[in-house]
Structure 1
């Protein structure tokens, strides 16, 4: 009944909008999908660059304005009844995305909207076992989740400006982290150690009101990838084995689609979620710049999608949205380092019976959108 009422409300709004402003494309979410998400009025962006923060970098031994240029692409978790966002911050040195040094900042909130930030980063390149993988590019694009026993796990891109690799670190407080290095270092005798790897979404589930990492078929499950969606499994959360096909190559689960918003990339987003309908993977779809793109959206823009996988076999895709549920609409989502428009989703938490989605805006700011299952709103309209 709730889904029927949601559809009726949306269709009524659509008729009014068409009559007043011209043709708008229908965007109704299926029953399995999450949303719509609403941007709280007057609060975004919630995190912006801070030119006053200084940090003594252990590698260069210089005092650096570590979050002065851009703050974006956040992961999120719950700690002691508060929302914690780990966001990527770039300093002032270098020109262009990925050619400054990135470090992960820490921000905390009692309501999920208004945040207090630490003055120093919590995960960054140092003179440690990960230096060869993280310096000088840094630690990028975190996805965070927590185990039932309270161990936080962050997957992030280790970027040495030669090859991006997925790294993993663990913590009990989201502040002090133990780095474990590249996640594919040992699997299959290192076969996938020296491939480009990014964007990891570990499988989670809401258990007794708390979103936690789960196992399926006795193993932890991870979706990952930038151009295509791949998968990996683990028994210890640190060492991961990619899922391979009959030829011993990476098994592609979903890929870009010609003529859709995800025509160029299908890049994994926040932790995947087990539901009664199946596994939902939230992902970032990039639009192509040529004739194969979805012409309803800007060339090279990033929009947010959802894909449904079989809950017994999480490698088996069932369906996905043909239209994004969140797309660049606000000025802060279309201006900054990435002017083609970006809503880049990476962090989502279940907090006070609602879902708070944290995302990067044009590779420059952090924003939040909220989904209330008791009062669902409509997904972003399509012009």
Structure 2
């Protein structure tokens, strides 16, 4: 069986949360919002964590079954430059050849900027800086961060489409960008012309945000897990997870959207934490004959939802 739109259904694992804050150091306060990738028949998670100072770093954990993880002691990505002095946040990861491409949010305390780093081994990262200075993915909405620059959340497809590599990015609204070399990226349209926007009156009426890198289906679609929210204030929110699809022949146009979320805040950890009522997905892998979707719970703990297609079936894309 090939992947179809939408993916699923997904069921939260009874083992959740699969990772929690620990110790008194850099991951002692909150641990959430992971990227995921399969390497040498193991699942690797690159997760966001911080202490009480809320300055985020990115840690690395490994699993043989996709549920039970062993963490490395030290963060693999941490603030070094002025544009990320208040945190390295919310990673997504893609492998092309022998190189891992990590997008993350560099936060300076006032501005969020989508940044890129590359690595041969998930541990040592070369940083390439902010990708879209002067681009604000909230530009078309009547609320959200002001100023000329704000961008988050980038996912990269590992194969070129029409001779170019593609990235989809954005918080508030979602945009597309292309690259000849995976390092230098140009938005397909300016920040006043997003490809996907919130849906009035729906579960994603306040904002949409790209979630995990896309999965290619047998009928020529790329399927994305996404995040959407309704909010009455910056701390009174309801984040849920949905899906969108684009055609490989027109990657900057959304051709399908799930009218209802596939994951909603239900457990105690989903509804209690630093920011309550949040399920926020950033990682998706096909591993041991099932889909594993990794998400943050209320910006405090980390969980997995599982879609088991059963024995003997195969899925294209991951």
**TM-score clears 0.5:** yes
Query: Is the radius of gyration larger for structure 1 or structure 2?
Result: 1
The counterpart of 1:308, out of the listed 222, 226, 245, is 245
Partner of 2:261: 324
Bigger fraction of residues in helix: 1
1:140 aligns with 2:89: yes
1:249–1:92: structure 2 CA closer, same or farther, 3 Å change rule?
closer
1:85 aligns with 2:45: yes
**For residues 76 and 364 of structure 1, what CA distance do their matches in structure 2 show?**
18
| Structure 1 unmatched ranges of 5 or more | 4-29, 53-64, 94-99, 186-190, 204-212, 291-298, 376-383
Partner of 1:57: none
**For residues 281 and 79 of structure 1, what CA distance do their matches in structure 2 show?**
21
Question: What's the CA shift string for 1:241-270, capped at 9, x where partnerless?
Answer: 0111xxx55431111011111000111101
1:217–1:301: structure 2 CA closer, same or farther, 3 Å change rule?
same
Question: What's the CA shift string for 1:30-70, capped at 9, x where partnerless?
Answer: 962100112222x1101100124xxxxxxxxxxxx111100
1:184 aligns with 2:138: no
| Structure 2 unmatched ranges of 5 or more | 137-147, 312-318
SS of structure 1 residue aligned to 2:250: coil
What is the aligned-residue RMSD (CA, Å)? 2.1
The counterpart of 2:227, out of the listed 262, 278, 284, is 284
The counterpart of 2:23, out of the listed 26, 51, 55, is 51
Deviation at 1:159? 0.6
Q: How does 1:1-383 map to 2 (within 5 A)?
A: 32-41=5-14, 43-52=15-24, 65-93=25-53, 100-126=54-80, 131-135=81-85, 137-147=86-96, 149-184=97-132, 192=135, 195-203=149-157, 213-244=158-189, 248-277=190-219, 278-289=221-232, 300-339=237-276, 341-374=277-310
TM-score by length of 2: 0.89
Deviation at 1:371? 1.1
TM-score by length of 1: 0.74
Runs ≥4 residues deviating over 6 A? none
- Say how many residue pairs are matched: 298
**For residues 265 and 196 of structure 1, what CA distance do their matches in structure 2 show?**
14
SS of structure 2 residue aligned to 1:332: helix
